[in-house]
Amino acid sequence: MQNLRAAAGDGPAAGIKFSTVNTMAVLAQSDPPSAGAFRPEAAAQLQGILGFLSRTGAPFMVNPYPYFAYQSDPRPDTLAFCLFHPNAGRLDAGSKITYTNMFDAQVDAVKSALGRAGYGAVDIVVAETGWPTRGDPTEQGATVDNARAYVSNLVAHLRSGAGTPLMPGKPVDTYLFALYDEDLKPGPASERAFGLYHTDLTMAYDAGLTSSSPGSGGGSTATTPTTTPSKGSGWCVASAGATDAQLQTDLDYACSQVGVDCGAIQPGGACFQPNTVRAHAAYAMNQLYQAAGSHPWNCDFRQSATLTSTNPSKHAISPFNFNRSPLIFTFH
């Protein structure tokens, strides 16, 4: 990390933060959260790391997994505590705080450990957290319903901006694990099933993260509109509620992508008229949607676009050339 920081120099890359990820195993104790402390055998290394993070303003990155906490204590009340479901809460006798979910308890245990080590001002970033959709017969709780409940309720908790009891009102940057299942990964069956999507690109469950279905909260199943076309069909157009400012940003983004040719909406082009941001954005959005493979998630654009099964060119004031030819799209 020191070498990378030095290599970044004092130029445009000076603001890059360098850190490293830690598992919860670096803690000797995490229950109750106020007693959080690092393992003595890791103290020397952690002092060096924490000193570097403190000097450079970088965060301490950690991977809390309430799922594994439930595996070590598979009681119904523990499951509710891990899934953000209604529960009696757990009193931390040291801080006199009653915790209502395992995620906050684990993050605050790390916060306590940082303070005990003399680095309480170092920020925390959750580099990984998630819940598996399936597991071996001995892996209790590894189900689609529990995975949906954990992720959707976690997202709702983070969006609320409540923070944790030891960091109230301070959102914790959190990364979900994982986008896709890892079907070749060794170990228990759960290790291969943390994905929001399966390896065949089908959705494992809807956690309310897609633009077509708002977060359901409470772990209930979010519904997908029946008008959403399947892969390879339909058109991606601007949504009715999108503003010109949003659409201009999406237009600029779409036209900059590989496989998208916006020449037709330039002055003199076949689709320049009608000369409006909405019309031009619809053209560019659909170009990108078709180029990227015509998957529903390719028509996202931060909820300023939507899929339609009706060819918009039939209802436009002047002809739109919605190109449906197969194109190669390269992801970097």
Rg, the chain, Cα only:
24
3-state secondary structure of 48: helix
What is the C-alpha separation between 264 and 300, in angstroms, rounded?
A: 22
Sign for the CA dihedral angle at 104, 109, 112, 118 comes to negative
Selected catalytic residue, list 17, 41, 111, 128: 128
* 314 assigned to active site: no
Q: For residue 183, give every residue at least 6 positions away whose Cβ sits within 8 Å of its Cβ, in sequence order, or none.
A: 192, 199
What is the C-alpha separation between 253 and 260, in angstroms, rounded?
A: 10
* 111 assigned to active site: no
Selected catalytic residue, list 17, 96, 139, 185: 185
- Count CA atoms within 13 Å of residue 121 on its CB side: 7
Report the relative pairing of strands 60-63 and 21-23 from DSSP bridges. Answer: parallel
Selected catalytic residue, list 17, 182, 231, 314: 182
* 41 assigned to active site: no
Find where tokens 């960091």 sit. Answer: 167
CA distances to 21, 120, 146, 155 from 65, in Å: 14, 22, 13, 14
* 182 assigned to active site: yes
Q: 280: part of which helix (H) or strand (E)? A: helix 277-291
Burial of 168 (0-12, 13-18, 19+ CB in 10 A): exposed
Residues labelled as active-site residues: 128, 182, 185, 191
